[in-house]
Structure 1
Amino acid sequence: MFDLHRLRLLRELKHRGTLAAVAAALSYAPSSVSQQLSQLEAEVGVPLLEPVGRRVRLTEQAEILVAHTEAVLERLERAEADIAASLSDLNGTLRIASFQTAALALVPTALGLLRDQHPHLRVHVTHMEPEKSLPALQVRDFDLVLAEEYPGNPNPRPADLEQEDLLDDPLRLALPEPAKTPATGGPTAVLRSLSGHPWVMEPDGTAARHWAMTLCRDAGFEPDVRFETTDLLLHQRLVEQKLAAAFLPDLVWSGLPPTVDLRQLPRGRRTRRIFTVVRRGRGWHPAVLACRDALRHAVTVHGGQA
């Protein structure tokens, strides 16, 4: 029988990419990880790693082992959920990753509810964008991730992850100088009127940036992006100071009245989808169920559209 601990190291290598990354994540010495994988090769009787430059990659047989390891770990996730469900109270630690606006608008309300209903459950929250938090969920750095999907930019859906919709969050054009926008012509004309104005957007490589650039180009112009940040509160502030135009989601206001003039976007581009993600087999864990219930409650408190 193969050693499960060594199988998990092989799985970690597949997801993290290098022996050094595996060692850093698990607080091992790289030589220890390499030794454990060499012992696993001896157990299996075939090569599991092959050199590629200064790195290594998994062989076909290693990929087969990882697929079976995923199934075993999913079964263990379900066993952990069953044991937790058999107890009278929730305890242990629930690790959550959330992007900024959800962390500000929804997570504090959900945390308060969890504290009141499950005082022995320790909840650890990390601010992290979905581009990083979803891969981290796969390697078990988190138990639940709050993620977002922009119109026309569907996210990959790995087979080992499960999604559950939380709310649809309207997206709007935030005007720095509303008096200079056309009174007629519809959302596209208003958007096009800002073609010569500075913009603030999220950095290159993010789903939000790709969506925003596509929206502007479809309106017939290339935006002058002078400010780049994932901090939507800074986006808001730059619009308030008339320094930039921006696209802002309703969730950024956390239920409070907007402080800038907002306009509708063209049809089909007006909402982002916000959802929770867990590893397959983890969704029935009582702590995950309680957290998802608390987040749904937070949506109703802030008037979101579930």
Structure 2
Amino acid sequence: MIDLRRLHVLRAVAHYGTVTAAAQALHFTPSAASQQIRQLARDLGVDLLEPQGRGVRLTPAAQSLLAHADAIQARWEEAELDLRAEHGAPAGQLRVCGFTTAVSVLLAPMAVRLRERYPRLTVRIQETGVPESFDLLFEGETDLAVVDVTPRNPPLSDARFDQQPLLDDRYDLVVPDDHPLAGRGHVDLAEAAHEDWIAPVPESPCRPHVMSACGAAGFTPSVVHHALDWNATAHLVAHRLGVALIPRLAHLTPHLPITRVHCTGNPHRKLLTATRQGCRTRPAVAAALEELRELAPTAVA
């Protein structure tokens, strides 16, 4: 019989990439985590880890076992749903997370609506980065995440997560009110190729979207300023320090002397909802997803 606790340690190693990182996430010592995997290997009579440089990697047997482990986890989520169902009425605690803009524009109003409709349901919101959202889902610390698509996301085929489209968030070119492009209904980004640009910091998941949009228009932007926050970006634009691409979902400080100009080709980022596989049909999660689907069209109008 496979010890499911040991199997979870192996899944954590696959998710975090190293035994040390997995141990930290599970509140184990690295030696204890390694011991759990060694014992699982002995139980099964196969090698699960093999040396790779200074670290280790999963063996083909471990990869095969993980496919079954992910299916077991999904079935366990479904079993919990069956056992805890209360006539389909959302109740208890729902934990959700998302990046800053998603919290402000989607998750906060969603929580208000759920509180009004389902008095027995409590919503807990946590602001997180995209990679951290998937970590929290994997660890069972959150039930639903709103994420944007980045190169670091797990693939849509990842059996551990159920990722579904929520909305396309279009980027506008943001310029000072007195900029020559400010009076245009639409603008080709190539017309801003020689401008000074304000872009997200290099580690931001939004930076690839901005750079890709400019690349598709045939140029690499001359980035002179970097910002973490869209409102900080907007203030830099207002002071005529450059132009920027800002997603429509970002609500900017009112009355700034800036203009949003729609871009031909509609550059955008894709937002997804993510849950653990088998969790999407839980009453509370299903109710939250329904609210998000209703809020999404108006959020980017």
TM-score, normalised with respect to structure 1: 0.84
Q: Which residue of 2 aligns with 1:278?
A: 275
Query: Which whole-Å deviations, capped at 9, do the CAs of 1:122-166 have from their partners, x for residues lacking one?
Result: 43322223244235434544321112248xx99831332223333
Q: What is the alpha-carbon root mean square deviation over aligned residues?
A: 3.1
Q: Using the alignment, how far apart are the partners of 1:154 and 1:43 within structure 2? A: 33
Contact 1:163/1:277 (<8 A) preserved = yes
Q: Larger deviation: 283-292 or 253-262?
A: 253-262
Q: Which residue of 1 aligns with 2:26?
A: 26
Q: Which residue of 2 aligns with 1:236?
A: 234
Q: Which residue of 2 aligns with 1:293?
A: 290
Q: Which residue of 1 aligns with 2:156?
A: 157
Q: 1:286 corresponds to which letter in structure 2?
A: P
Q: CA deviation at 1:20?
A: 1.6
Q: 2:110 corresponds to which letter in structure 1?
A: A
Q: CA deviation at 1:200?
A: 1.8
Output aligned runs, 1:122-271, within 5 Å. 122-134=122-134, 136-149=136-149, 156-160=155-159, 161-176=161-176, 178-181=178-181, 187-188=187-188, 191-204=189-202, 208-253=206-251, 260-267=258-265, 269-271=266-268
Structure 1: gaps (5+ residues): none
Contact 1:19/1:33 (<8 A) preserved = yes
Q: Which residue of 1 aligns with 2:61?
A: 61
Q: Which residue of 2 aligns with 1:110?
A: 110
Q: Using the alignment, how far apart are the partners of 2:118 and 2:29 within structure 1? A: 38
Q: Using the alignment, how far apart are the partners of 2:179 and 2:224 within structure 1? A: 22
The alignment of Structure 1 onto Structure 2 pairs a total of residues equal to 300
Q: Using the alignment, how far apart are the partners of 1:13 and 1:297 within structure 2? A: 38
Q: CA deviation at 1:202?
A: 2.0
Q: Using the alignment, how far apart are the partners of 1:252 and 1:142 within structure 2? A: 24
Q: Using the alignment, how far apart are the partners of 2:157 and 2:202 within structure 1? A: 23
Q: What SS does structure 1 have at the residue aligned with 2:249?
A: helix
Query: Which whole-Å deviations, capped at 9, do the CAs of 1:93-150 have from their partners, x for residues lacking one?
Result: 4332212222111211111122233344343322223244235434544321112248
Q: Larger deviation: 253-262 or 13-22?
A: 253-262
Q: 1:234 corresponds to which letter in structure 2?
A: A
Q: What SS does structure 2 have at the residue aligned with 1:248?
A: strand
141 and 203 in structure 1: CA distance in 2 versus 1, 3 angstrom threshold = farther
Q: CA deviation at 1:184?
A: 7.4
Q: 1:194 corresponds to which letter in structure 2?
A: A
TM-score, normalised with respect to structure 2: 0.85
Contact 2:144/2:285 (<8 A) preserved = yes
Q: 1:277 corresponds to which letter in structure 2?
A: A
255 and 18 in structure 1: CA distance in 2 versus 1, 3 angstrom threshold = same
Q: Using the alignment, how far apart are the partners of 2:253 and 2:277 within structure 1? A: 33
Q: Equivalent pairs: percent with the same residue?
A: 32
